[in-house]
Structure 1
Amino acid sequence: MNKHPAHKRTLVFFLVPNFTMLPFSAAVETLRIANRMLGYPAYEWRLSSVDGEKVSSSSGIAIEVNTSLAEERRNISGEHRPNMVLICSGIQIEDFNNKSVHAFLRETYNRGTAVGSLCTGAHVLAQAGLLNGKRCAIHWENLPGFAEAFPQAEVYADLYEVDSNLYTCAGGTASLDMMLNLIGQDFGEALVNRVCEQQLTDRVRNPHDRQRLPLRARLGVQNSKVLSIIELMESNLAEPLSLVEIADDADLSRRQIERLFRQEMGRSPARYYLEIRLDRARHLLVQSSMPVVEVAVACGFVSASHFSKCYREVYNRSPQQERAERKMTLSSARAGVAA
């Protein structure tokens, strides 16, 4: 245990509209339990927002905050300077673009204070220019759009990443793991184990553990050859492999692959490959403002027209309609909040 019982760490949780409750509450509760096990408030925190007003989460629950952005900008150079600032966000993060927040994050980081994010908050850190050349993590659903929007960031589908005083996690229960890592740094493994017991957590996950279920569990597929081919496909979406190249890699004939996919997936390998490329395209359409032609290229289509034709066949609407429907959904959501 830390030899300095007066050791304290202050965190600021900066709430972005539509933030996700699970990673936020998991992080706060992990720190609260650590305090209870220690017998004193080693971790203190406050909540902040742009204007100091309460913030609605994606579940519709509004959370009161303690400070505004202006107050926190004053705090970083005074006696209330935090040890860490964490951006808490969730859905529709692509629509949040606040230059004052970016400036605050850069100033905080440049003063030596740790900066981080929960769930999709890496998007805000990247907008602020803090993730160029840095390892980071973001929720798997947002990873395609993030990677296209911020090519200078080294983004991974990990639970969390720590790089040069920058802490990013994928959200969900991964924020629990990142907080346990922080507690371990401060107080050692014994306290981490006690916190885990209180949380009914059976182990501390490795930061590089996968975010998503393994393909075998996710798809209900048992054939190892089919699983390895699907992994190969998922790793080559921008420049799709030919069936001949896939067959060579899998050490199977084209006919064998065709038969296996019909048996296990109920469709041809070409059709399945097309569907996962279109799925990535859909994520890019709803998560980014990339032109449709760039989305097409990023997902391995030779032309925007061919991409649109395939997209309509699978989703019964064009890429343009997909994006328009998203904008309408956002407008309706904002109108509901305003009401």
Structure 2
Amino acid sequence: MNALPDPSTPSTASERIGFLLLPGFALMSFASASEPFRAANILAGRALYRTVAFAEGGGRVRSSGGAELEAAALPARDWGLDMLFVCAGGSPEAWHRPLVHAALRQAASEGVRLGGISGGSFVLAAAGLLRGRRFTIHWEHTPALREAFPDLSPEQARFVIDRDRLTCGGGVAPLDMTHALIAERMGADFARRVSDWFLHTEIGAAAGPQRGSLPERYGVHHPALVAILGQMEASVEAPLSRQAMARLVGLSTRQVDRLFREHRGTTFAAEYGRLRLDHAARLLRESPLSVAEIAFATGFSSASHFSRRFREAFGRSPAEARAAHRPA
């Protein structure tokens, strides 16, 4: 990456962009966000953008896949940046960092536009920097964020640009967001050239979905069954009865049972239970909630009932599952 220019040196031609890397950050998300700026420099024949990586304490930062990047230490003040993106994966240990939160608040006070990539939006939320802003986060981290910050409501969008907050869902979504940012400065034609450089021919709209549609994810197309599956995903905390679901779609319980048997090869109860346990497994990985709190958040009557069902499904207790995902 390029060295950060001296803020005292006038550089009207270059926007200065920082990437704050937290341990366990996704290398693919980071590359999707940073590489378009490098390509823009090449295509323009001049340094439109200068980028630098930061880390708490500086030094080498390990990504989720084990690759390491060298990064500068966080400055106490005078960031000298136009934009700063927080790149974080799915580890609560990486999200709860008071020194990082303070540094981000300082950057915000200096007028730096702040961004969150993948789990980075959680860090911005923990620093109190998303109140009154529209934003998004990777869909897998949404449950943990909603449990931790019930007053915040992330949008299910590929990316959201709301004034001085720039957030995206991770993966390849940063390609779409940087396309919009480059177009904001250099125009749509130039941004298209940058996207073509990466064979990024299908540029996603900001409000585009982060996940495949319900029919794609479940491999079903029966409208009533799709509606039930969608309602199941939306009601893991307060599960609806089979009778209530049948009334919602205008079918009998016997017809609902037949739909699950013929299209999913399972029962209503088994499908609902699997969805709730998968949701619980995500909360164990990505939130600091206790086992009892997760049991309540996924509609189980008690922590012991939840633990028993979890062990039956995954072959280990919730505490063992959580420990397996903690960094050594």
What is the TM-score when the length of structure 2 is the normalising length? 0.91
Aligned partners of 2:140 and 2:299: how far apart in 1?
A: 19
Any stretches of 5+ residues in structure 2 without a counterpart? Answer: 1-10
Aligned partners of 2:316 and 2:56: how far apart in 1?
A: 37
Counterpart in 2 of 1:250? Answer: 249
Contact 1:93 1:120 in 2 (8 A): no
Counterpart in 2 of 1:336? Answer: none
Q: CA deviation at 1:7?
A: 4.0
Counterpart in 2 of 1:83? Answer: 82
Aligned partners of 2:197 and 2:319: how far apart in 1?
A: 49
Aligned partners of 1:134 and 1:192: how far apart in 2?
A: 26
Asked if residue 34 in structure 1 is aligned to residue 20 in structure 2, the reply is no
**Greater CA deviation, 198-207 or 127-136?**
127-136
Counterpart in 2 of 1:44? Answer: 50
Aligned partners of 1:19 and 1:305: how far apart in 2?
A: 34
Counterpart in 2 of 1:241? Answer: 240
3-state SS of 1:105 partner: helix
Counterpart in 2 of 1:208? Answer: 207
CA separation of 1:166 and 1:299: change in aligned 2, threshold 3 A: same
Q: CA deviation at 1:304?
A: 1.9
Counterpart in 1 of 2:195? Answer: 196
Q: CA deviation at 1:96?
A: 4.3
Aligned CA RMSD, in angstroms, stands at 1.8
Q: Which structure 2 residues correspond to residues 1-339 of structure 1 after superposition, within 5 A? A: 7-65=13-71, 67-69=72-74, 72-76=75-79, 81-327=80-326, 330-331=327-328
Give the AA of the match of 1:68: A
Counterpart in 1 of 2:7? Answer: none
Aligned sequence identity (%) = 36
Contact 1:118 1:170 in 2 (8 A): yes
Contact 2:146 2:152 in 1 (8 A): yes
| Paired residue total | 318
Contact 2:232 2:272 in 1 (8 A): yes
3-state SS of 1:282 partner: helix
Give the AA of the match of 2:108: Y
Deviations 1:87-140 (A, max 9, x none): 112242444432221111011112221011211111211111112343222222
Aligned partners of 2:55 and 2:173: how far apart in 1?
A: 23
What is the TM-score when the length of structure 1 is the normalising length? 0.88
3-state SS of 1:87 partner: strand
Any stretches of 5+ residues in structure 1 without a counterpart? Answer: 332-339
CA separation of 1:93 and 1:39: change in aligned 2, threshold 3 A: farther
Aligned partners of 2:133 and 2:115: how far apart in 1?
A: 12
Counterpart in 2 of 1:335? Answer: none
Deviations 1:215-245 (A, max 9, x none): 2222222323212210111111111112222
Give the AA of the match of 1:50: E
Aligned partners of 1:320 and 1:107: how far apart in 2?
A: 37
Q: Which runs of 4+ in 1 moved over 4 A?
A: none
Q: CA deviation at 1:298?
A: 0.9
Aligned partners of 2:56 and 2:319: how far apart in 1?
A: 32
3-state SS of 1:137 partner: coil
Contact 2:84 2:113 in 1 (8 A): yes
